[in-house]
Amino acid sequence: MAEVPDHLLQRSLDRRAFLAAQGGGAGGGAAAAAPADDPGKIPTSLLERSAAGGGTATATAPATTRPAATPAAGPAGHTQRLLTVVKAGSIQDVKAVPTDKVHTWPHLLIGEFVATMAMTAFLLVFSAVVNAPLLGMANPNRTPNPSKAPWYFLGLQELLTMFHPMVAGVTIPGMGLIALGAAGYIDKNPSNKPEDRKFAIALMTLFLMFWATLVIIGSFFRGEGFNFILPWRQGVHDIFDL
């Protein structure tokens, strides 16, 4: 049961003292003679009235005995009211979870569009500056020297010059594919922020640098017989014309 605030109790006592001070009639005399009850408990007169069946009689009385707007009067003319104490504050439980998600348009698509335009401009300038002529018709009777794989396989071809074909062609690529497939089960970090994925970003950066180094060596530092050469001595164009 909720406790009645002190200011409401004081207000009730003041009202009782005011009614007792009036002394106007039998009700006032009875109120003055009646002993003061504990403010925090139900008055004794109400308990006696309920035991004698007064509450039932009042409940079953016709509605025309008193106006509907007039509150029911208790013993000694006291007006009984129902007080409900409600704590201040919002009754709604707001659970707003902040998220770092943004809409695809315009945040993502604008970035992708700018990156596409920058890459297109770079390719346009690069193709205008660097000459990349087509070679002659393939001659099945003459094997080009050196015989190089496409640039995306030059890293693997470079590994073949350092290790046994079983190691360079099967073991190392197989271990890489297994590690790539198991990455999603090993690293379960849901964050996509760079500051939260330092180890994964560092590992991927080292792999890209290692593979790019092998591709650059296979493209510019391998001459006839796939031997190691210095491109500034033989010339870059001579290497591709072989």
Question: In this predicted structure, what is the pLDDT of residue 106?
Answer: 84
Question: In this predicted structure, what is the pLDDT of residue 64?
Answer: 44
Question: Do you know the residue count of the chain?
Answer: 242
Question: In this predicted structure, what is the pLDDT of residue 97?
Answer: 65
Contact 79, 66 (CB under 8 A): no
Question: In this predicted structure, what is the pLDDT of residue 9?
Answer: 83
Q: Give 71's contacts (C-beta < 8 A, 6+ positions apart).
A: 79, 80, 81
**Ranges of each domain in the chain:** 6-61+71-77, 103-133, 146-242
User: What letter would DSSP give residue 182?
Assistant: H
pTM (predicted TM-score): 0.45
Q: Give 14's contacts (C-beta < 8 A, 6+ positions apart).
A: none
Strands (E), 163-226: none
In the chain (242 residues long), the average pLDDT of successive 10-residue segments reads: 74 85 56 48 70 50 45 56 58 64 84 96 92 78 85 90 91 91 86 86 91 90 86 62 47
